[in-house]
Amino acid sequence: MTAPDSELTIDPEALRLRAEKALRTARDRTHTLTTCVDEHDLTAQHSPLMSPLVWDLAHIGNQEEQWLLRAVGGGDALRPEIDSIYDAFAHPRAERPTLPLLAPAEARGYVHEVRGRVLDILERIELRGAPLVDAGFAFGMIAQHEQQHDETMLITHQLRRGPAALTAPPPPAPEDGAALPDEVLIPGGPFTMGTSSEPWALDNERPAHHRLVPAFHIDTAPVTNGAYERFIADGGYTEPRWWSADGWAYIQEHGIAAPLFWRREGGQWLRRRFGVTEPVPPEEPVVHVSWYEADAYARWAGRRLPAEEEWEKAARHDPESRRSRRYPWGDDDPTPEHANLGQRHLRPAAAGSYPRGASPLGVRQLIGDVWEWTSSDFLPYPGFRAFPYREYSEVFFGPAHKVLRGGSFAVAEVACRGTFRNWDLPVRRQIFSGFRTARDAS
């Protein structure tokens, strides 16, 4: 085994430019998501599961003010009176429309003023000397935070009723997808999980540690709509034997019989995608399924969901060098040739896409396209330390939340890497979630 994690060395000025680019990229996306609809759509609550878009906008600015202007820059508060309004833990999403929210124009002015001051701080501050600023961590954390809320706002756009407000070209089609094997064998043995040196990794990704993982097989690509349709046609939603007790109770209570946004019409399955109704494409990874649905499909297929450590070993471990990479393809940052990220396409790419993004053993689409449910509960790694605040990860640890890995087409490059961990309740379906299956090698 190599030492846990390889060290990443970044020139200070290059780091400053990287932080500025990450912040500006996030803001450009926020602008797109909040200017493509009218004021009514910005202030309306399109689902009790989600905040009004204008809440997310001002929350982005408030977090940036608290962490970068006050904590890093040492400046006075601009709008201390709104801190409680935009505290995500103080107010559940369902009640946020009742709060005295900043109006759209005021929210835009606020986030613009905060950003101008932040860029001034970034230009002059030393990116070393304290944990919050070492390697530009706080700037990377805030860029990731904004991109995570951009993904949340994109989910709100998917839930929104009305004509399409967003457009994007389709992703490229794979040239060799039909020739790929159904699954890949991942040899047993130790590997390094997590990270201790990735500069902008968040607390739940740390520290790097060794895991011993027995050999297993994992799907070459995520489960497709076509495969999931066969599960439905075979009575998957009517056979309790495929479901956990909680899952069966949930789908019965809510009358669930297909992925969210699907409907049967004229002998075919249709889906609603960002204001457009279209036939369900059989070659794309299935999306908008809960953990319960993913688990039931895996049982029906005679397989199981991969454990989190299995997923990460498939994504990062290089058997030849015996080290863990940052990404399946290596240590370089993602490009459009590696993965479907950053809201470029507004849909998953066909299964088997992105050969340049494959892992050393040939597993594809481990980064981007759809978040992938794993069988694992969201738990801390050995040696975990909350930083810079408990509410990011620690308060969610436990069996109530399941881990998702890999990101989706809605995830930005800055908020997606081989160690990144997402988590949610097993009932969640509005998120851009899919899955792949696994089985023991023996």
Give tens-digit pLDDT for 343-362.
999 999 999 999 999 999 99
CB 305 within 8 A of CB 435: yes
Q: Does the pLDDT value for residue 5 go beyond 90?
A: no
> Model confidence at 9, in pLDDT bands (50, 70, 90)?
low
For residue 192, the surrounding DSSP H or E stretch is: strand 189-193
CA–CA gap between residue 435 and residue 304 (Å, rounded): 10
Question: What is the architecture of the domain spanning 169-441?
Answer: Alpha-Beta Complex (3.90)
Per CATH, domain 12-159 is 1.20.120: yes
Task: Cite the annotated binding site by residue number.
Answer: 59, 93-96, 145, 149, 424, 428
CA–CA gap between residue 370 and residue 441 (Å, rounded): 25
Sign of CA dihedral 410, 5, 211, 384: negative
Strand partners, 265: 268
* Cα radius of gyration rounded to whole Å, the chain: 21
Task: Cite the annotated binding site for Fe cation by residue number.
Answer: 59, 145, 149
- pLDDT at residue 10, as a whole number: 67
> Model confidence at 420, in pLDDT bands (50, 70, 90)?
very high
Q: Does the pLDDT value for residue 324 go beyond 60?
A: yes
Strand partners, 402: 377, 424
Q: What is the mean pLDDT of residues 261-281?
A: 97
Q: Tell me the DSSP string of 285-334.
A: BP-S--HHHHHHHHHHTT-BPPPHHHHHHHHHEETTTTEE-SBTTBSSPP
Mean pLDDT of the chain: 96
Task: Cite the annotated binding site for gamma-L-glutamyl-L-cysteine by residue number.
Answer: 93-96, 424, 428
CB 434 within 8 A of CB 225: no
The 10s digit of each residue's pLDDT in 156-207 is 999 999 999 999 999 998 988 788 999 999 999 999 999 999 999 999 999 9
Angle subtended by helix axes 225-233 and 291-300, to nearest 10: 70
- pLDDT at residue 12, as a whole number: 82
- pLDDT at residue 250, as a whole number: 98
Q: How many residues does the chain have?
A: 442
| Ramachandran angles phi, psi of 138, nearest 5° | -60, -35
Domain ranges for the chain, please list them.
12-159, 169-441
CA–CA gap between residue 108 and residue 332 (Å, rounded): 34
> Model confidence at 15, in pLDDT bands (50, 70, 90)?
very high
